[in-house]
């Protein structure tokens, strides 16, 4: 597979509908071609050994729209489009990262994800008959959905099994507790957890490791 031929995002007619936040057809041949390429690259990545760093880096650059330096993804991974995702510097993802990036996904610098983190952007009609078919402008009856972007700031830590739902923005310097289902925005500097996820408190100097000398084991916290 020629991994150098990465398609440019947001060029097709259906992708432009995604950007506009209106119904689009996920079965469109151009969209299916993008997804097939990405799914095959996901499989290639998941077949690699952890110490095949050069091969892994090349595959990730072919999958993700933008990827900052110092990124590490334990694997296995599952990107849906890949090219709709932008990830900052020094990103770490533990096992089983899933990003269903029909809509745009952005992740800032220095973010760390625990195992089984899932980010989703598509939204399907609530009524069964509308999930099955909606009539398009040209008269076709198709299974349609729409998507909402997800934005994650810098210096965020997600515990294991976090799910981020469509349309959510998470600010800088947030901690999201394990098992959380994030359905609404989380302001910067927050510790949030639960299902549905809610803000527990604002993070402060009280949360510093300086206040846990029994955990430091001779280490020191640098001055800010």
Active site residue 80: no
The Cα 205–Cα 79 span in angstroms is 36
Closest-CA residue to 85 (of 119, 46, 115): 119
Q: Which of 39, 80, 84, 124 is catalytic?
A: 124
DSSP code string of 50-70: TT-HHHHHHHHHHHSSEE-TT
The Cα 61–Cα 149 span in angstroms is 21
Q: Which residues contact 177 (CB under 8 A, 6 or more apart)?
A: 159, 162, 191, 192, 193, 194, 197, 200
Q: What share of the chain is helix, strand, coil (3-state, %, to 5)?
A: 25, 25, 50
CB 90 within 8 A of CB 109: yes
41 by Cβ neighbours in 10 Å (0-12 / 13-18 / 19+) ranks as: buried
- Annotated active-site positions, please? 124
């Amino acid at each position: 597979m020629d991994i150098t031929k990465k398609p440019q995002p947001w060029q097709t007619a259906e992708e432009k509908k995604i950007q506009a936040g209106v119904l689009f057809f996920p079965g469109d041949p151009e969209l299916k071609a993008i997804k097939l390429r990405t799914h095959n690259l996901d499989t290639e990545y998941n077949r690699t050994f952890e110490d095949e760093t050069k091969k892994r880096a090349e595959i990730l650059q072919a999958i993700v729209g933008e990827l900052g330096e110092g990124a590490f993804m334990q694997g296995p991974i599952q990107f849906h489009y890949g090219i709709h995702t932008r990830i900052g510097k020094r990103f770490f993802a533990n096992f089983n990262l899933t990003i269903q990036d029909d809509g745009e996904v952005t992740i800032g610098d220095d973010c760390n994800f625990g195992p089984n983190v899932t980010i989703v952007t598509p939204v399907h009609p609530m009524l069964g008959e509308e999930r099955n078919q909606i009539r398009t402008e040209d008269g076709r009856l198709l299974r349609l959905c729409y998507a909402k972007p997800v934005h994650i700031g810098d210096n965020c830590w997600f515990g294991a099994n976090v799910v981020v739902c469509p349309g959510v923005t998470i600010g800088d310097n947030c901690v999201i507790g394990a098992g959380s289902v994030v359905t609404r925005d989380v302001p910067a500097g927050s510790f949030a957890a639960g299902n549905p996820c809610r803000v527990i408190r604002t993070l402060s100097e009280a949360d510093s490791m300086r206040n846990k000398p029994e955990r430091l084991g001779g280490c020191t916290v640098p001055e800010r």
